[in-house]
C-alpha cells in the first residue's frame, strides 16, 4: 500500500557492550565473593551493590582477525532513566542478493528463506504485510499475497515488487472460499513452483461483546475466517507441498488469546477461535511430520495495528499497556524475526510449537 511503512524500534541501550558478556562478568564477581562467605546470612549481608561493573571486551582487529589487546572499561550500574525508543521509518525493502548470501556464514544462510516460494494470507496490511516484507529481505524467491481486500492487496503487492524487485503476486481470495483457495494455490505452483512456506495471517477480531449478547451469525463468521480459514489454507498448501514431494513450513498466526482470557474486554469467540488454531496447528504438525511439513503457531500479544486502532479501544489499550512488562504494544514488525526463523531451515526440528510474542503480557 502506498502509505505502508515499517517502523523499526531500536530499543534504547545504555552501552554498546554485549549484554551477555556484561552479565557474565557481574555473575563471576558475585560468585567470587560468595566463596569467602561463611553463612547464608553473612552472604546476604555481604552483597556489594556495585555502582560500576568492570568489563573486558575482545574485538577482532580491523582485518577481522582475533585482536591481541582487550579493551577494558566500566559501565554504570546505577539505575538510569528509561531511554525513549527511537522510532525510525523504514521504507526500503532490501532483498538478499546471491552475492551477499554466498558470503554469509552457514548458520545465517540456514536462517534465511533463500529460494523459497512463500504464500502469505492477510498480507495486504498489518502483521502479514510486514512479514511479507521480511521474507522478501530474507531471500524469498517469490511472494504470493492472498487477501480479501482487493485495493489494499493490489497496492501492497505492487509496492513490495517495486521495492524489492522480486516476483510478487496478489490473489483476491477469501480464506473461507475453498475453491478460490485451491485455484489460487495451483496458480502459484504454475507461476513459481510448489510453495515452501505458508504464513496464515488473515484474521478478524470482534471484542467487547458479551457472550450472552453475541449474535450467532457473527460468532460463526469469525470462527469461519480465523479457524476454518486456517484449515482450508493449510489443506490446500499442504496438498501442493505433498504433490511436489517438497518439505515445507506452515506458520499459523494465532494469538495469546488462544492461551489466556483477555482483560477487560469480553471476546469469547475470538479467544475460542485462536485456541482452535493452536490445537489445529499441533494436530497438523503431528499428522504431517511424515511428509516433511512442519506446522507452528505464532501467538502475538497486543500489537499496534489497524485491528486495534479503533477509538472504542483507546481506554482499554492503556490497561493492556500497563499489564505488559515491556510497557508497550507490539510494533507491526515485531513478528518478522520469528516468522523468518520458522519459515527457514534453521527451525527444521521445530514443529507443533506455539510461540508467544507479547512483551511479557502473559507472565502475570
143 near ligand NAD, rule: CB under 6 A: no
Closer residue to ligand NAD in complex, CB, 166/298: 298
Number of residues that bind ligand NAD (CB under 6 A): 30
- Residue list 181-220, contact with ligand NAD (CB under 6 A): 201-205
Does 125 interact with ligand NAD (rule: CB under 6 A)? yes
Among residues 237, 251, 6, the alpha carbon closest in space to that of 133 is found at 6
Is residue 122 close enough to count as binding ligand NAD by CB under 6 A? yes
- Shortest distance (Å) from residue 254 CB to ligand NAD: 7
Q: What's the closest the beta carbon of residue 134 comes to ligand NAD, in angstroms?
A: 13
274 is catalytic: yes
Q: Is 268 a catalytic residue?
A: no
Q: Is 148 in the site for ligand NAD (CB under 6 A)?
A: yes
Q: Is 305 in the site for ligand NAD (CB under 6 A)?
A: yes
**Residue 253 is a binding residue for ligand NAD (CB under 6 A):** yes
Rank residues 203 and 248 by Cβ distance to ligand NAD and give the closer one: 203
Task: Report CA torsion sign: 354, 356, 362, 363.
Answer: positive
Q: Specify whether 270 is catalytic.
A: yes
Task: Give the three cell numbers for residue 176.
Answer: 473461507
Any contact of residue 149 with ligand NAD (CB under 6 A)?
A: yes
Report the distance separating Cα 201 and Cα 147, nearest Å.
10
Residues 25-84 that bind ligand NAD (CB under 6 A): none
Catalytic pick from 234, 249, 257, 270?
A: 270
252: Cα within 13 Å, side-chain hemisphere: 39
DSSP 48: -
Identify which of 310, 292, 297, 290 has the alpha carbon closest to the alpha carbon of residue 339.
297
* Residues 354 and 333: beta-carbon distance below 8 Å: no
Backbone angles phi, psi at 72, to 5 degrees: -115, 135
In the chain, DSSP finds a helix count (H) and a strand count (E) of 12, 11
Q: Are strands 52-57 and 71-76 parallel, antiparallel or unpaired?
A: antiparallel
The answer to whether 172 and 196 are in contact (CB under 8 A) is no
Cell of 235: 489443506
225 binds ligand NAD (CB under 6 A): yes
CB of 79 to ligand NAD, least distance (A): 31
Write each residue from 82 to 111 as x if it is in contact with ligand NAD (CB under 6 A), else as -, in one continuous string. Answer: ------------------------------
* C-alpha dist (Å) from residue 274 to 222, 236, 299: 10, 20, 9
Q: Quick one: which of 38, 65, 306, 312 contacts ligand NAD (CB under 6 A)?
A: 306
CA distances from 182 to 154, 177, 178, 336 (A): 20, 9, 6, 27
Return residues touching ligand NAD (CB under 6 A). Answer: 121-122, 124-128, 147-149, 152, 174-176, 201-205, 225, 229, 253, 255, 300, 302-303, 305-308
Residues designated catalytic = 255, 270, 274
Amino acid at each position: 500500500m502506498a502509505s505502508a511503512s515499517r517502523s523499526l524500534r531500536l530499543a534504547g541501550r545504555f552501552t554498546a557492550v554485549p549484554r551477555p558478556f556484561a552479565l557474565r562478568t557481574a555473575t563471576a564477581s558475585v560468585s567470587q565473593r560468595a566463596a569467602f562467605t561463611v553463612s547464608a546470612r553473612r552472604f546476604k549481608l555481604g552483597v556489594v551493590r556495585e555502582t560500576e561493573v568492570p568489563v573486558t571486551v575482545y574485538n577482532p582487529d580491523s582485518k577481522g582477525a582475533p585482536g591481541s589487546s582487550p579493551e577494558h572499561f566500566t559501565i554504570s550500574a546505577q539505575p538510569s532513566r528509561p531511554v525513549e525508543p527511537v522510532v525510525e521509518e523504514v521504507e526500503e525493502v532490501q532483498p538478499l542478493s546471491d552475492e551477499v548470501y554466498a558470503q554469509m556464514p552457514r548458520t545465517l544462510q540456514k536462517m534465511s528463506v533463500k529460494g523459497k516460494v512463500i504464500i502469505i494470507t492477510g498480507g495486504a496490511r498489518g502483521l502479514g504485510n510486514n512479514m511479507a516484507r521480511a521474507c522478501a529481505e530474507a531471500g524469498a524467491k517469490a511472494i504470493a499475497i492472498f487477501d480479501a481486500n482487493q485495493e489494499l492487496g493490489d497496492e501492497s503487492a505492487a509496492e513490495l515488487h517495486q521495492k524489492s524487485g522480486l516476483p510478487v503476486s496478489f490473489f483476491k481470495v477469501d480464506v473461507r472460499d475453498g475453491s478460490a483457495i485451491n485455484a489460487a494455490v495451483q496458480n502459484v505452483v504454475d507461476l513459481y513452483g510448489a510453495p515452501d512456506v505458508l504464513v496464515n495471517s488473515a484474521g478478524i477480531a470482534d471484542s467487547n461483546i458479551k457472550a450472552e449478547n453475541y449474535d450467532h451469525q457473527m460468532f460463526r463468521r469469525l470462527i469461519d475466517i480465523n479457524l476454518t480459514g486456517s484449515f482450508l489454507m493449510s489443506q490446500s498448501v499442504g496438498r501442493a507441498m505433498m504433490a511436489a514431494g517438497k518439505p515445507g513450513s506452515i506458520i499459523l498466526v494465532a494469538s495469546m488469546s488462544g492461551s489466556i482470557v483477555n482483560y477487560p474486554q469480553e471476546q469469547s469467540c475470538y479467544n475460542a477461535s485462536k485456541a482452535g488454531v493452536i490445537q489445529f496447528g499441533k494436530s497438523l504438525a503431528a499428522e504431517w511430520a511424515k511428509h516433511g511439513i512442519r506446522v507452528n503457531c505464532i501467538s502475538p500479544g497486543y500489537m499496534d495495528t489497524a485491528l486495534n486502532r479503533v477509538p472504542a479501544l483507546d481506554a482499554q489499550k492503556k490497561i493492556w499497556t500497563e499489564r505488559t512488562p515491556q510497557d508497550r504494544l507490539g510494533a507491526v514488525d515485531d513478528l518478522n524475526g520469528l516468522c523468518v526463523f520458522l519459515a527457514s531451515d534453521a527451525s527444521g526440528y521445530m514443529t507443533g510449537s506455539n510461540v508467544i510474542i507479547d512483551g511479557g503480557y502473559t507472565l502475570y
